[in-house]
Structure 1
Amino acid sequence: MTAGPIRRIGRRFPDYGWSWPTGKLDQLLKAALLPDDETACHHAARWLDDNDIDLVSFREHRLLTAISDRFGRKLSGHAAYPRLVGLQKMLWTKSRMAMREAEPALKAMVDAGVDVMLIKGASRIAVDASAQRGRVAHDIDILVRPLHMTVAFDVLRDRDWQIATGVSPQYLRTRLGSIRSMNFFKGSFGDIDLHQLGYDGSQTSEEDDLAIWQRAAKAEFSGVDVFVPSPADRMALAIAHGGLDAHTHSDWLVDCAVAIHGGDVDWEVFNDIVARRSIAVPASVALSYLFL
């Protein structure tokens, strides 16, 4: 049997392209992702021509930060350039303040013997500190081993971090074994998402819950010794979380592209994670868009 011609994926249902970003979001993503700087910059300039930065949502603001970091003064001739730079500085400042608020708590966890793994945006910053100019991370997502969950919980509570749900800490502490994650706040900028499982309940795999730690690498985050997921895990986590939350942000696609362009993704490991986590459909949607 001979192979037939490869059919180009389009936007028609039931192709994966039916779920791709469209319109102004697609234009912003092309500006952030296309490898050719001239073409990407053209998309950025056209978006700025047709849209008002002040009238779009935080989802677009996150991508605009990446675009501002990528092109810098190449967009200086555009009337929106001062606003673009101001937006990047404002979001960078908020990210830095969130990181600064979280640092003492993360250090206290590590000092108490907790293995802390940064995931999502924080992991990208730990791998490459310069990424914080273009990657918004107003909340710090951390993953701890289930056996360390109680210690991590106590560290946050002892330092006056408040549980976002308002549920009694005493009650939650007795239920930690059944909670996948919880959100803590402190002050105006402190925002930590504490996870003992990296994936949603529909994406469970006990074997991979152990393997993600075995594949993890050591890194440093603002002077704190942490772990970061392997490139394959960073991609899988981005796709798994992004597929569930794609309506609120799209910079997870940029995170995937960064991991791919780094050339360190073990694709056999990635395929194994996708199968174990049952995320083949969102992975196919994301990768067909990125490799279009």
Structure 2
Amino acid sequence: MKKILLIMSAVVVVAACSKNAVTGRKQLSLLPESQLQQMALQEYQQFLSQSKVVSTTTSKDAEMVRRVGTRIANAITEYYTKQGKASIFEGYKWEFNLVDNKEINAWCMPGGKVVVYTGLLPVAQNEAALAIVLGHEIMHAVAKHGNERMSQAMLAQGIGIAGDVLTSRNSQVNGIFNSTYGIGAQVGVLLPNSRKQESEADHYGLICAAMAGYNPKEAIPFWQRMSKAAGSGTKPPEFLSTHPSDEKRIKQLEGYMDEALTYYKPVK
């Protein structure tokens, strides 16, 4: 029986692996993207209802977050649509919100729901740096890193094998989702992004920012500031927990820079 289950697991892995349209890497995707987006929307709406959302009509910072995010979303949608890859954004309805929270954090959920915390802005200092962060977080969603992490955990728990039905009512699936997208608690702590996923988000996020007209070179001083923020004795930013903004990260970003600059046309 154990041997049969191992064979079935192998079959599931092979069948569920697909080539990501952005990165070109094969990924495990057991969960329908539409279902993941539905679960994300519910979590996102609950988070907003329990948070202090900063209005774009009264705050230049909130307007900036929406402006920068919208430019990135429009730029990458246009780019991949021209490549015949519009399906990447199927089900996406972009939203960009600034939330009054002192944590140095930002995130993007499947379906294009993006939140920036006010605590990030003093470290970002300018629109180009904010674009670097938003590009990074958006690429985690667009590259389906969350689906990949959830699928790996689901496979480990035997979900999706031997006829298991995946529905939003499945308590195990909900539990995995909450540990992956526990927005109200600590983002990504139980199922953190892998180093491969972080590198992809850095790489393609840099290109995202450049496509939207923001200088990708701003990534270097920004991550240097983030490194100082993490070493200041305060709580480290959430998205530094698995891939610190150390010399290795900055060196990787420098390696991506020439490619990113080919996409860069300054915002008019």
Bigger Cα Rg = 1
Q: Tell me if both proteins adopt one fold, taking TM over 0.5 as the criterion.
A: no
TM interval, short-chain normalised: 0.3 to 0.5
TM-score by length of 1: 0.33
TM-score, length of structure 2 as denominator length: 0.36
